[in-house]
Amino acid sequence: MDPDVLAARLEDAVTRLRATGADVLMATGVDPRRAPLIRRTRGRVATYNAHIWSIAARQGAAVLDLWGLRVLHDWRMWAPDRIHLSTEGHTRVASLAARTLGAVDNEGYLVPLEPLPARPRAQVLREDAQWVRAYVAPWVRRRLRGQSSGDGRAAKRPLPLRLDVRD
């Protein structure tokens, strides 16, 4: 995806949302520099992140800075697929969101987990190979067939819901 085209579409959506009086919270992409395979997208992610900050400044939106959230460099913050957050990762991001929106003033989400002992290189390679078999290869097969991982799935919440926010 072209980050410039995607940013233009995002700004259009944010502009329309802000015109209704809605507050908007956008999130930057996470820095992929430590992620095998995905690190090659780092330049595009950084470009898109720059767009997000610019859009937020123009539209009066808030930004959740995931690129700068260093605790996300710990693999324990990620699910086994290495794309989605684990429960702990979600907790940290939710805490950052609450702080960004001014709901809390707690920086506990920045505290790193206790370091784990170094793993032997062979173990790391075995785990990476298992990840490729379990997640990367099926993704490639779907793309070659023109399929999405969401094809054939029903929406979890197919109808929009109105949220009542109380003080």
Task: Please list the residue range(s) of the chain that carry CATH number 3.40.50.1110.
Answer: 3-114
Q: For residue 166, name the pLDDT band (cuts at 50, 70, 90).
A: low
Strand extents, DSSP E, the chain? 25-27, 62-64
- Nearest CA to 165 out of 101, 88, 87 is that of 101
Q: Find the mean pLDDT for residues 8-24.
A: 97
What is d(CA 15, CA 9) in angstroms, rounded to the nearest whole number? Answer: 10
Q: Is the pLDDT of residue 27 over 70?
A: yes
**Could you report the per-residue pLDDT of 128-150, keeping only the tens digit for each?**
999 999 999 999 999 999 998 88
Q: For residue 165, name the pLDDT band (cuts at 50, 70, 90).
A: low
Q: Which two tokens stand for residue 142?
A: 């779907």
For the chain, the straight-line distance linking the first and the last C-alpha, in angstroms and rounded, comes to 40
Domain 3-114: assigned CATH number: 3.40.50.1110
Q: Find the mean pLDDT for residues 113-140.
A: 94
pLDDT reported for residue 68: 94
Q: Find the mean pLDDT for residues 106-120.
A: 91
Of the ranges 29-38, 52-61, 63-72, which one carries the lowest mean pLDDT score? 29-38
pLDDT reported for residue 167: 52
Looking at every residue in the chain, the average pLDDT score rounds to 92
State the residue for tokens 């605790």: 71
What is d(CA 108, CA 71) in angstroms, rounded to the nearest whole number? Answer: 11
